[in-house]
Structure 1
Amino acid sequence: MIVPGVVSVTFRQLAATEVVELTAAAGLSAISWAGDVHVPLGELGTARAVGAATTASGLSIEGYASYFDAGDSEPAVFDDVLRTAVALGAPTIRVWAGKRTPEDSDAAHRARVVSELVRCAELAASEGVRVAVEFHVHTLTKTLDSAVKLFAEAGHENLVPYWQPRELPEVAECLTEVRALLPSVTAAHVFSWGADGFDERLPLDARPDLWQPVLAELAADGVTRHALLEFVVDDDPAVFRRDAATLLSWLG
């Protein structure tokens, strides 16, 4: 089953309560809360209030987007990340696999990232929270081969991947990536870009050729996963509502 939701950082300009209202009105079911704007790191009172507002509106909390860079952030920071996620009621913490690409990372850096991911996964498991690594071009998950190797090296059941397409995504390549990450992939960030990538955001319905088969692949085994809208054209709530309607129509 695919649960439709949104990444709250899509609307940096809105208060958390406004994001809740907009998400619920659009007919979506879940929110991934951003740790750099709506639920700041270490602000436990804010985290509790945002979590309560989310669930009171009938929405679920998909996770806490921490922006913690495993292997590059100060390790002690993850303690605050975990406390904030628990206060929020988030079942998942999103992190990055360091700040270097596979091409720029030597063996020592890669080993440090893997070790830190394992440490974070173990700490989170003690609180019933899992750790998800974003599939991101500026990290060790830039390429599929590097990402698969990373998860194999970590070998921790509490460490899972998030997937998102890169700029200029090809459908066959995206399906190959998703299939390689199944069944452990738990969420996909859903958006459509033009030839200029991040600088050319498109309405979601510009890429049914990409998203309909990807979503079908993610749903095929019946495991619950999230499809999270992000990168809305002009950060416009009206466009978001149309994108949400498109996503819901694709999910049937």
Structure 2
Amino acid sequence: MLRAGVCSVTFRKLPPQEVIRLAAQAGLQGIEWGGDIHVPHGDLQKAREVARHTRDAGLVVSSYGSYYRAGHGDELPFEKVLATAKELEAPVIRVWAGKQDSHEASPEYWQKVVEDSRNIAQSASREGVTLCYEFHGNTLTDTGESARRLLEAVAHPAMRTYWQPRVEQSLLPNLRDLRRLLPWLVNVHAFWWSSAGERRSLHEGEKSWNRFLQVVRLSQREHWVLLEFVRADSPEAFLQDARTLQQWLSAG
């Protein structure tokens, strides 16, 4: 089953209650709360408040979008991230696979990220929480091949991944990446940008997104499809994209 939600970082300039109001108005089911602005790492009171307001609006917390970098735990203690996610009642924490491109990282750096990923996955699993890598440039999960390599090296059931289309790639390479990662896939970040990085209406990506969602459904598991970033950070553009996403999900 595919469920529709939104990443709170789509509206970094808005307070949490306004993000909740927009998500509810859009008819979405959940929110991924970001750890940079809306629910800062370590602010347990804020996490409890946001969790309560989310529930009161009839929504659920799909995940906690942290900025923990595997291999760099000295910069942000994972214990702080995990404690915040627990108060937020987030079943999933998004983490980042280091801060180097996969093709530039040394074997020693890869091993550093693998070992830390395994350690934090073990900590999360004891609390019933799943970790997911962000699928993103400037990390070891910047391609489908490298992300799969990392997941296989970590080999922990609590370490999974997100996926999102790489804007510099055409449809077929993006589909290949998605298929490679399907066994580990938890959630999807949904947006539509031009190859130059210009934000576009999600509807303009209908042909590609229909193909992407067909592949995601093959897992026969539950996945959140989370809107992330809209044209000009506009609530109106967000509401339009939310309608588009829900039409796609209901058609499947």
- The structure 1 segments of at least 4 consecutive aligned residues displaced by more than 2 Å after TM superposition are none
Deviation at 1:201, TM superposition (A): 0.3
Query: Given the superposition, is the C-alpha separation of residues 158 and 130 from structure 1 closer, same or farther in structure 2, using an over 3 Å criterion?
Result: same
Q: Deviations over 1:29-64 (max 9, x none)?
A: 110000000001111000000011111111111111
Cα contact 2:31–2:63 (8 A) shared by 1: yes
The residue identity in structure 2 corresponding to 1:203 is: S
Identify the residue that residue 64 of structure 2 maps to in structure 1: 64
Identify the residue that residue 27 of structure 1 maps to in structure 2: 27
How many residues in Structure 1 have an aligned counterpart in Structure 2? 250
Identify the residue that residue 231 of structure 1 maps to in structure 2: 229
- Secondary structure of the structure 1 residue equivalent to 2:103: helix
- Partners of 1:144 and 1:45 in 2: how far apart? 37
- Partners of 1:134 and 1:221 in 2: how far apart? 19
Deviation at 1:220, TM superposition (A): 2.8
Match of 2:201 among 203, 206, 230: 203
TM-score by length of 1: 0.97
163-172 or 227-236, which moves further after superposition? 163-172
- Structure 1 gap ranges (5+): none
Cα contact 1:202–1:232 (8 A) shared by 2: yes
Cα contact 2:191–2:228 (8 A) shared by 1: yes
237-246 or 97-106, which moves further after superposition? 97-106
- Structure 2 gap ranges (5+): none
- Partners of 2:164 and 2:76 in 1: how far apart? 28
- Partners of 1:19 and 1:225 in 2: how far apart? 21
The residue identity in structure 1 corresponding to 2:207 is: D
Identify the residue that residue 80 of structure 2 maps to in structure 1: 80
Task: Establish whether residue 41 from structure 1 lines up as the match of residue 41 from structure 2.
Answer: yes
- Secondary structure of the structure 1 residue equivalent to 2:152: helix
The percentage of aligned residue pairs carrying the same residue is 41
Q: Deviations over 1:136-156 (max 9, x none)?
A: 111001122211110010000
Identify the residue that residue 167 of structure 1 maps to in structure 2: 167
Identify the residue that residue 97 of structure 2 maps to in structure 1: 97
The residue identity in structure 1 corresponding to 2:237 is: V
- Partners of 2:232 and 2:50 in 1: how far apart? 25
Cα contact 2:145–2:180 (8 A) shared by 1: no
Cα contact 1:171–1:209 (8 A) shared by 2: no
The residue identity in structure 2 corresponding to 1:231 is: F
Q: Deviations over 1:120-179 (max 9, x none)?
A: 100011111111001111100112221111001000000001001112331111111111
Identify the residue that residue 136 of structure 1 maps to in structure 2: 136
Identify the residue that residue 176 of structure 1 maps to in structure 2: 176
- Secondary structure of the structure 1 residue equivalent to 2:193: strand
Cα contact 2:144–2:178 (8 A) shared by 1: no
- Partners of 1:42 and 1:204 in 2: how far apart? 34
Query: Given the superposition, is the C-alpha separation of residues 76 and 139 from structure 1 closer, same or farther in structure 2, using an over 3 Å criterion?
Result: closer
Identify the residue that residue 115 of structure 1 maps to in structure 2: 115
Tell me how large the CA RMSD over aligned residues is.
1.1
- Partners of 1:50 and 1:103 in 2: how far apart? 39
Identify the residue that residue 52 of structure 1 maps to in structure 2: 52
